[in-house]
Amino acid sequence: MENVSGVVNQKVEVTTMRSASASELILAVLSQAPAGATVDELSRWLNLDQYSLSKSLESLRERRLADYRGTEWVQIWFASRFLKKKPEPLVREIFFERIFLSNDFEKLSCHLTAEEPGTIDLLGTRYVLLADRVITKLITGFFESMGYWQGSEMLYRLGAELGKMHISRWKKRLASLSEFHEACPRKLVFYLASSTLLGWGKNELIEFNPGKGRCTIRIYNHPVSMPEFGKPIHFLEAGMFAELMSHIAGKRVKVSEVKCTSAGANFCEFRSKFKA
């Protein structure tokens, strides 16, 4: 949103000379913000109190110049021209990301629903629930049938294929390759946050330097852990992170799990670097 913030500063400077109304200011900002803006963001950018801001937004809505998407807790406002062009799934995803980036997980939890036993729905995506012991058995099955090194390589490749699936979905929602590359860092944060919400431990992005191929991700309280194993086991995640980072960096990277709860560490840590 840095570019929008810059536009806001320009609009405020112009309007001090001609005393534009609050509604005109808000609409000018929303017209430059295809991803929309929350009430908090508009209040901060335009230095307007929330009461006056809410009245002006409702006025714009009555005149069909703006509208919002969201819930009673968080609303993302759009200029009407952007609402007409945006498919509903993408609006939901923008809403999803905005809440995640504000670290407000409690407000997002209301979007977890269960239509049938063993599944959950998260903003239109259906997930099938598996017990952690089932996933552990699957991982150990690879090691037992292929050996540790070959099994880990196969899990890494499977993770990379999952990463490609995520990338394919991202590309379908973006108009051009340049937009895809610009959105990738935000998508990585979105992916880590959604993994946290879905129960795959607390995911944190510690370091992010795609220009040098470096990325460090930590997962606290990973649900799949085998302390008695004594070696790293999360090669599926490593392969997925490698695929995501390779597309963000524009060059192939390799990801290694340098710390693992199955090897005695307090958390799992993944680090990337460019392939030699």
166/261 same-domain check = yes
Residue 125 lies in a domain: no
Q: In what order do the strands lie in the sheet with 268-274?
A: 202-209, 214-220, 268-274, 253-259
173 touches 93 (CB < 8 A): yes
Domain that holds residue 72: 2-109
* Domain containing residue 175: CATH number: 3.30.1380.20
What tens-digit pLDDT sequence spans the chain (276 residues)? 444 544 444 444 444 434 468 888 899 888 888 778 888 888 888 888 888 898 999 999 999 999 887 665 567 888 888 776 655 555 566 666 665 555 555 655 666 777 777 787 766 677 777 778 888 888 999 999 999 999 999 999 999 999 998 888 777 766 566 666 666 676 787 788 778 877 888 888 888 888 898 999 999 999 999 988 999 999 999 999 999 899 888 899 999 999 999 999 999 999 999 987
Residue 102: what pLDDT?
A: 56
By CB atoms closer than 10 A (0-12, 13-18, 19+), residue 156 is buried
Residue 13: what pLDDT?
A: 44
157/257 same-domain check = yes
3-state class of 214 per DSSP?
strand
